[in-house]
């Protein structure tokens, strides 16, 4: 056979195969996505070249918004899946990264809390109220709707620890008042999280746009939790520093103690998790971050169990000694 005739025959045969593949592909597509694919393929310079169509970045960028705007979520997912399989796109699966992050944080946090308990039971006065609260917060990490409970329980834990080292009547009333505010915020945000969608089932069924219901903005709720958390963080940071200022110590020593337990540690301990949350919230409207909801509470628990208690207890002892001296002097 003449080489040119052979080449022409092969070209015609391959074009028929490609056209057949394209026809089969279009037949499997949801009807809402057919017009998007046909219009964009027609406008493309690739013709029926499947490799060219699959590697055309402009075509990929144009097809997805068109499909999302013309199809319901279920149909859009079917169209995207068919396109990815036909073009042999790499599978995007980040569950391993999320599992590694979650398991690592749980293991590290569990070990840290366990070491804290061992130290308290063997070498300390035993478990106190704040220890039981941090244990409860550790087991609440799995409840997404109880995220506020996890966050505010950690703050309550620290406030209960303050009660053990600051004996003054006024400061204890202040701490108890702050505990009450934290509990109230926790209850309010938990109720809002549990009832954020009406009906409640719309929370997990509404994504397909086939069910009727409505939800409050998850972005607004997250911003509210972060804002209240930051305000409480600053307030809680001021409680031990206010006691440190009034101690009968030289300023250099006060600054040294503050640097050990107050300024650096507590800013990282309370403020950093909420600032991290705000950084992710800037992008939350477009792409929610599951890892964010996991790492912030675990970071807070690690902070609560960090080895910074000796300086804090030192200040507490000085505050106690000062109270005793004042009481003895007045008598």
Domain range summary for the chain, segments of one domain joined by +: 14-86, 101-330
> How far is residue 47's CA from residue 18's CA, in Å, rounded to a whole number?
10
Look up tokens 């409207």; give the residue.
Answer: 285
In angstroms, rounded to a whole number, what is the distance separating the alpha carbons of residues 224 and 242?
27
Q: List per-residue pLDDT tens for the chain, 331 residues long.
A: 444 433 343 343 344 434 545 566 667 778 887 777 777 777 777 766 667 777 777 777 777 888 888 888 888 888 888 877 777 777 777 777 777 877 887 788 778 777 777 777 777 667 666 666 666 655 554 455 677 887 888 888 888 888 887 888 888 999 999 999 999 999 999 888 888 888 877 877 777 777 788 888 777 888 888 889 888 888 888 888 787 777 767 777 767 666 655 544 444 444 445 554 555 445 544 444 444 444 555 555 555 554 444 444 444 445 444 443 443 344 4
CA distance 61 to 55: 11
Q: Strand pairing partners for 168?
A: none
**Dihedral sign, Cα of residue 315, residue 151, residue 127, residue 112:** negative
The CA distance from 71 to 62, in Å, is 14
Q: Tell me what pLDDT residue 136 has.
A: 60
pLDDT for res 188:
92
- The angle, 0 to 180 degrees and rounded to 10, between the axes of the packed helices 129-139 and 147-165 is 170
- Alpha carbon distance 279, 59 (integer Å): 32
Give the integer Cα–Cα distance in Å for 254 and 214. 54
Closest to 120 measured CA to CA, from 109, 128, 112 = 128
Predicted TM-score (pTM) of the model is 0.55
């Amino acid at each position: 056979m003449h080489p040119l005739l052979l080449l022409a025959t092969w070209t015609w045969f391959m074009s028929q195969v490609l056209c057949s593949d394209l026809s089969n592909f279009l037949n499997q597509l949801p009807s809402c996505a057919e017009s998007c694919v046909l219009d964009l393929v027609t406008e493309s310079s690739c013709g029926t070249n499947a490799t060219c169509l699959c590697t055309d970045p402009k075509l990929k960028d144009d097809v997805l918004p068109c499909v999302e705007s013309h199809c319901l979520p279920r149909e859009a997912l079917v169209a995207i899946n068919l396109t990815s399989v036909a073009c042999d796109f790499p599978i995007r699966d980040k569950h391993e990264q999320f599992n590694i992050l979650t398991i690592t944080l749980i293991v590290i946090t569990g070990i840290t809390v366990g070491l804290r308990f061992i130290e308290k039971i063997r070498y300390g006065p035993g478990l106190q109220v704040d220890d039981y609260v941090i244990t409860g917060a550790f087991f609440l990490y799995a409840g997404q709707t109880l995220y506020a409970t996890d966050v505010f329980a950690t703050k309550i834990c620290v406030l209960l620890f303050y009660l053990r080292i600051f004996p003054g009547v006024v400061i204890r009333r202040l701490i108890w008042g702050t505990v009450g505010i934290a509990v109230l915020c926790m209850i309010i945000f938990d109720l809002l999280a549990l009832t954020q969608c009406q009906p409640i089932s719309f929370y997990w069924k509404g994504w397909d746009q086939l069910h009727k219901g409505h939800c409050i903005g998850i972005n607004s709720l997250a911003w509210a939790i972060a804002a209240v958390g930051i305000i409480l963080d600053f307030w809680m940071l001021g409680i031990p520093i206010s006691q440190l200022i009034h101690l009968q110590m030289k300023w250099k020593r006060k600054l040294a103690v503050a640097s050990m337990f107050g300024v650096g540690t507590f800013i990282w301990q309370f403020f950093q998790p909420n600032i991290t949350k705000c950084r992710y919230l800037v992008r939350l409207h477009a792409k929610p971050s599951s890892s964010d909801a996991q790492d912030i509470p675990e970071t807070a628990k690690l902070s609560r169990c960090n080895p910074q208690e000796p300086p804090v207890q030192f200040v507490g002892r000085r505050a106690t000694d000062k109270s005793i001296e004042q009481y003895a002097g007045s008598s």
